[in-house]
Amino acid sequence: MVERLEKTFREAITEELRNSIKDMNVRVEEHKNLWYSLHVSDEGCIEPLGNEPKRGYDAFQQDIVIYETRGEREVPRVVVETKSGGCSTHEAITYSTKARLLKQVYPYLRYILLLCDVDKITQKLIKHGEFFDGILVLDFAAQRKGKNFEDWNRFVNVIRNEVETSRKIAQARKGSLSVKAFLKPVTINESS
């Protein structure tokens, strides 16, 4: 039941997000594979070989990926992991580890955990989600009825900001930005 709701949630979010950020020159897709490990072999070759990351071969499949296309290459900007009905300590640690591994390959990548059917973000999720760039709650039932614009607008604004942050981090790492401050602010919105 939870898995089916999560699939419905992810599909609806993906479609609505595509429409909400289509002006940003990015693509939004479900079940995209991203490398979590690239290394140089003892023969001097980058491994794994091939242009396409494959799940199970040094790649994780992500729920939602927002990415840009540069020629023939795809540049992931934001990953959105969706969870329905809360997140256990084990899941929080697992997803946070996935975020860390992905950021080792894509150092500009932003990683958001989006929860539905929960009232708030638990302290264990905050404690164990150290590599998340954001955790948000979306009242999916209200969203589907068109009654939850505040949560949805917050989510879309976070995604827009994270895409821009990813772009700026990439530019700063290349030296194409004149950087005078590099800050990672934390915003906390209390639940009512």
pLDDT at position 141 over 80: no
Domain count, the chain: 1
Q: What is the pLDDT of residues 15-40, one digit of tens each?
A: 999 999 999 999 999 999 999 988 88
Q: What proportion of the chain, given as a percentage, has pLDDT over 90?
A: 51
The domain spanning residue 9 has which CATH number? 3.40.1350
* Assigned domain for 76 exists: yes
* Assigned domain for 30 exists: yes
Q: What is the pLDDT of residues 35-65, one digit of tens each?
A: 998 888 888 878 777 678 888 888 899 999 9
Confidence (pLDDT) at 146: 64
Residues 6+ apart with CB under 8 A from 40: 46, 47
Q: What is the pLDDT of residues 93-139, one digit of tens each?
A: 999 999 999 999 999 999 999 998 888 899 999 999 999 999 999 87
Confidence (pLDDT) at 148: 63
Distance CA 57, CA 94 (A): 18
* Assigned domain for 187 exists: no
Give SS3 for 79. strand
Please measure the distance between the N-terminal and C-terminal CA atoms of the chain and give it in whole angstroms: 28
pLDDT at position 66 over 90: yes
Confidence (pLDDT) at 145: 65
CA 106 to chain centre: 12
Q: What residue numbers bound the domain in which 135 lies?
A: 2-174
